[in-house]
Amino acid sequence: MTAETDHDRQSTTAQNPVLHEPARRSGSIVLVLLIAAAIIACAVAFMTLGRAQAQPYILGLLALLAMVGLFVLFAFAAGIVRFADRTSDDPIMRTVADHAFDGIAVTDARGHVVYANAAYLTLTGAASAQDARPVERVFIGNPDVSEAVFRLLKAAREGKRQQEEVRVAAPDGSHGRWLRMRVRPLGEGKREAKSTVWSVADISRDRQRQEDVFQELQHAIEYLDHAPCGFFSVNPKGELVYVNATLANWLDHDLAEIGSGGLKLTDIVSGDGASLLTSIVPMPGEVKTEVFDIDLRMRNGKTMPVRLYHKLAFGADGVPGASRTLVISRARDERSDPQRAAEVRFMRFFDHTPMAIATVDRDGTVVRGNARFAKLAQSLNTSGAVNKSILAAVSDRDRNQLVAAIGHAAQGQGDIPPVEALLEGAKERWGQFFVTAVEENERETEAAIVYMLETTERRTLENQVNQAQKMDTIGQLAGGIAHDFNNVLSAIMMANDFLLNAHKPTDPSFQDIMQIKQNATRAATLVRQLLAFSRRQTLRPTVLNLGDALSDIDLLLKRLIGEKVKLEVVHGRDLWPVKVDISQFEQVIVNLAVNARDAMPDGGRLTVRTVNVSAEEAGRLSYKGMPPSDYVRIDVSDTGTGIPADIVEKIFEPFFSTKDVGKGTGLGLSTVYGIVKQTGGFVYVDSEPGKGTTFRIFLPRHHQEKEVAPDPAIAAAVAAKEAAADAKPRADLTGQGTILLVEDEEGLRALNARGLRSRGYTVIEAGNGVEAMELFDEQNGVIDLVVSDVVMPEMDGPTLLKEMRARNADIRIIFVSGYAEEAFEKSLPENEQFAFLAKPFALSALIAKVKETMAPN
């Protein structure tokens, strides 16, 4: 540690004018030792003199040392004496700083310059080191620089690094110069550094070079924009990031629209041509240039034949960067060169055909492919494998067939049968491959031409048509069986009623007769289920809210599913009304709930949910055969075992069941299917083994305003009649009158006639419609009532009604049939009045219907 005076500092500055703070002298260890030795010698001398004699000398020495110390303190406080840091006196670092190209200055905490090199003095215009000023004082009058300097000062006070580039205008109005100013604290990491290092560099030449490069780039872009060829660039997302003015003019697009990201590659490339540009197989680090002859799409929809030189570079990870594509118009070639024109026409045909075409070698490796083939390869999601080998497009199951077909073509064989194969991929897709041989001299590189048509939609449609035809055929069969069986059941039930009337409850055979009746009723229930599946049952639809209907059967469902299964009913808000037969709808929900219970033997959760589905939402659904319209959807979901995929399509068939023998009839789901279909709705199932099943029922929304309002007079008469019937239930079923009974089943006809005669009616029997007309004419049309079957040989019921009404317009008729009323109502004239009784029926039901129909209006 040494001390220096102002005189020493001034002499040093004169020798080195660059330094505002001169170099400090290094301390001497010899001087320190001499001072220490003198102090020790004085102490020894004072000890030899004795305390009394040495005391004045000791006090004098202490006073001298105190004066020296006090003087040094005042000199240090005034800045006359400073303590030098030997670490800052490194001659190498001082030389580097003194001769640096950039101006360097060091300021203390008060902002005074304590060091400045020659470059700083030159840049700031200081004549000497004594004139060196801090940066903020140098540019205090320049408004273009003061704001940047303020940010630098703020960073210096906060102990941060900062950099600014500013332009200093020249006094003569010329371009001036660019300066880069940097600031950093000494002693980084502290909130406020005691000293700050400033650097100022003249970067005018660098800026000039940058501006020159920018101007050259602007000239290149201007030339590229107005070049006689088109250029465009596409990013990996398929978005156009650059299109030159020439190409934009060709396509009649606005450059501003393209620059804002408003166009994609598929917007300017016609057909499947975009797939050609995006189907290049990635090779890490590779740069590829492909040539394509395709059509571009103009803004007005017209096409323009062009040749593309498509350059694409892949990164080290195989990810493609933005493409660089040169576009050359082929329109001129078409006019000037006939051979070129023929080539253009062929390429347009080749790329726009709806069939995927590729040439392959003997191993199936793709040599060339058209746009549709490139699109197929992308849609299969095989990471470019199809672009390398066409065999990758086919599943393992059918691949050998395609390999054999290509082998036959490589041998020059003709008439190779097409190959129907399952395509590779997550979804089930099908394709038909047509393989033909190439010319013999080309077989070294290309062994065959493969044409492929995707047949997924066709197969799906065929399966749907086959399934619909199968269900209709089964429905017709079930309906026919049900009709014939109804006749048998009607005879059984009628004869059973006669037996019940002839035997008292105390009779030993009465219980056997009751057992016959119960089994006949059970058989009639099965027949109704068959008719429900075949959509030939009689429905009595009413307008209702499904939320209220489900609430009414909530308790019934809980009893049916038991305590192990938790029932959750979620009602949709503001449900639209539907028009359904309430009893049949309840049967649908009950059947589904029972099936769900059986699928959850160990318990689970059954959820019934209702929601409105608008026509727009229905159009977005993937369910086949359901037209867009407003529906109310009912979801019945369980957490059971699920339905295997191989039997999902069979679950709605009658008598199909996965339950053990004796545990189900197989008619539950077929009944659901028939009721929903007859109501005009749709039912679909989503199931996954082990995760549960959801049945989704779509019922059409009922529009009350579209219904034709009934005649008020007729409605009032019907209401009065129903009220009278409710007020006075008829206990007396006897009556009088002549009834013409028409039934082709002799046994059933005899039983019905016997029952009617037992109640006092006169019955005339006829075996078919022709015979009935003869008897009708014999009676001169004086018949009180006609009870006729619907389906009969020679003349059916509707035809019989027309003939009789032609002779007697007031004739009353009751149709009885095992089919639904709607099955034959369409074949009758409009507003035709008749009564209907569904088979099978009991004797009491027939007599009550006759009594009701013959009653005066």
Rounded Cα distance between 324 and 331, Å, is 22
What does the pLDDT read at residue 171?
64
User: Between vectors from CA 249 to CA 245 and to CA 254, what angle results, nearest 5°?
Assistant: 75
Q: Residue 713 — pLDDT band, cuts 50, 70, 90?
A: very low
Rounded Cα distance between 100 and 199, Å, is 10
DSSP-assigned letter for residue 841: -
Residue type for position 506: T
Among the residue ranges 34-38, 559-563, 705-709, 736-740, the one predicted with the least confidence is 705-709
What does the pLDDT read at residue 464?
67
What whole-number percentage of the chain has pLDDT above 90?
4
What does the pLDDT read at residue 232?
86
pLDDT over 70 (residue 117): yes
Q: Encode 722-757: b = buried (16+ Cβ within 10 Å), e = exposed.
A: eeeeeeeeeeeeebeeebbbbbbbeebbbbbbebbe
What does the pLDDT read at residue 148?
87
Sequence-ordered list of residues with C-beta below 8 angstroms from that of 469, at least 6 positions apart, any chain: none
Mean pLDDT of the chain: 77
Residue 741: which H helix or E strand, with range?
Answer: strand 738-742
Which residues partner with 218 through β-bridges? Answer: none
What does the pLDDT read at residue 102?
85
Q: Which contacts (CB < 8 Å, 24+ apart) does range 248-252 have?
A: 250/296, 250/298, 250/304, 250/327, 250/329, 251/296, 251/297, 251/298, 251/299, 251/304, 252/298, 252/299, 252/300
What does the pLDDT read at residue 527?
64
Q: Residue 259 — pLDDT band, cuts 50, 70, 90?
A: low
The helix/strand count (H/E) of the chain reads as: 30, 27
pLDDT over 60 (residue 187): yes
Q: Do residues 370 and 293 make contact, with C-beta atoms less than 8 angstroms apart?
A: no
Maximum mean pLDDT: which of 123-127, 287-291, 766-770, 852-856: 766-770
What does the pLDDT read at residue 598?
85
What does the pLDDT read at residue 733?
62
295 three-class SS: strand
When comparing pLDDT for 726 and 253, which is higher? 253
Distance of CA 26 to the CA centre of its chain: 80
For residue range 548-573, what is the model confidence (pLDDT) as tens digits?
888 878 877 888 888 888 888 888 88
Whole-model pTM: value is: 0.43
For residue range 499-518, what is the model confidence (pLDDT) as tens digits?
877 777 778 788 887 888 77
Sequence-ordered list of residues with C-beta below 8 angstroms from that of 839, at least 6 positions apart, any chain: 483, 486, 487, 489, 490, 816, 817, 818
Please name which of 770, 824, 775 lies closest in space to residue 793, comparing C-alpha atoms: 770
Give, in order, the Cα–Cα distances in Å from 779 to each of 531, 759, 774, 806.
Answer: 37, 22, 9, 15
For residue range 771-808, what is the model confidence (pLDDT) as tens digits?
888 888 888 878 889 998 887 878 888 888 888 888 88
DSSP-assigned letter for residue 271: T
Residue 756: which H helix or E strand, with range?
Answer: helix 746-758
Q: Do residues 753 and 765 make contact, with C-beta atoms less than 8 angstroms apart?
A: yes
Rounded Cα distance between 731 and 851, Å, is 11
Q: Are strands 762-766 and 738-742 parallel, antiparallel or unpaired?
A: parallel
CATH class in words for 227-340 = alpha beta
Please name which of 524, 572, 510, 566 lies closest in space to residue 546, comparing C-alpha atoms: 572
pLDDT over 70 (residue 86): no
pLDDT over 80 (residue 671): no
pLDDT over 60 (residue 676): yes
Rounded Cα distance between 144 and 167, Å, is 7
Residue 474: which H helix or E strand, with range?
Answer: helix 456-502
Task: Write a three-state SS string for 139-175.
Answer: CCCCHHHHHHHHHHHHHHHCCCCEEEEEEECCCCCCC
What does the pLDDT read at residue 659?
53
What does the pLDDT read at residue 14?
37
Q: Stretch 360-367: mean pLDDT, rounded?
A: 85
Sequence-ordered list of residues with C-beta below 8 angstroms from that of 455, at least 6 positions apart, any chain: 420, 430, 431, 432
The domain defined by 91-208 folds into Beta-Lactamase (3.30.450)
pLDDT over 90 (residue 856): no
pLDDT over 90 (residue 188): no
Rounded Cα distance between 645 and 641, Å, is 12
Rounded Cα distance between 27 and 3, Å, is 8
What does the pLDDT read at residue 248?
84
Side by side, the strands of the sheet bearing 565-570 are 565-570, 604-613, 631-638, 692-700, 682-688
714 three-class SS: helix
Q: Stretch 97-118: mean pLDDT, rounded?
A: 85
Q: Residue 4 — pLDDT band, cuts 50, 70, 90?
A: very low
The domain defined by 353-528 folds into Beta-Lactamase (3.30.450)
DSSP string, 810-833: T--EEEEESS-THHHHTTSPTT--
pLDDT over 80 (residue 245): yes
Q: Which CATH number fits domain 536-700: 3.40.50.280, 3.40.80.10, 3.30.1540.10, 3.30.565.10?
A: 3.30.565.10
For residue range 132-144, what is the model confidence (pLDDT) as tens digits?
888 888 887 777 7
What does the pLDDT read at residue 222?
78
DSSP string, 415-471: -PPPEEEEBSSSS--EEEEEEEE--GGGTTT--EEEEEEE-HHHHHHHHHHHHHHHH
For residue range 571-602, what is the model confidence (pLDDT) as tens digits?
888 889 888 877 778 878 888 888 888 888 88
Q: Count of CB atoms within 10 A of residue 653's CB?
A: 21
Rounded Cα distance between 554 and 584, Å, is 16
Maximum mean pLDDT: which of 34-43, 104-113, 339-348: 104-113
pLDDT over 50 (residue 25): no
Q: Do residues 536 and 491 make contact, with C-beta atoms less than 8 angstroms apart?
A: no
The domain defined by 738-854 folds into Rossmann fold (3.40.50)
Residue 121 in tokens? 């003095």
Name residue, tokens 């080195």.
Answer: 16
When comparing pLDDT for 671 and 682, which is higher? 682
DSSP-assigned letter for residue 429: -
DSSP-assigned letter for residue 705: G
When comparing pLDDT for 487 and 238, which is higher? 238
Maximum mean pLDDT: which of 466-480, 528-542, 655-669, 678-692: 678-692
What whole-number percentage of the chain has pLDDT above 70?
77
pLDDT over 50 (residue 9): no
Residue type for position 105: A
Q: Stretch 473-490: mean pLDDT, rounded?
A: 66
Q: Do residues 800 and 769 make contact, with C-beta atoms less than 8 angstroms apart?
A: yes
Sequence-ordered list of residues with C-beta below 8 angstroms from that of 69, at least 6 positions apart, any chain: none
pLDDT over 80 (residue 239): yes
pLDDT over 80 (residue 605): yes
pLDDT over 90 (residue 698): yes
DSSP-assigned letter for residue 562: -
Name residue, tokens 């501006």.
Answer: 211
Q: Count of CB atoms within 10 A of residue 209's CB?
A: 11
Q: Residue 13 — pLDDT band, cuts 50, 70, 90?
A: very low
Residue 737 in tokens? 């009158």
pLDDT over 70 (residue 670): yes
CA atoms 410, 411, 414, 416: torsion sign: negative
Q: Residue 497 — pLDDT band, cuts 50, 70, 90?
A: confident
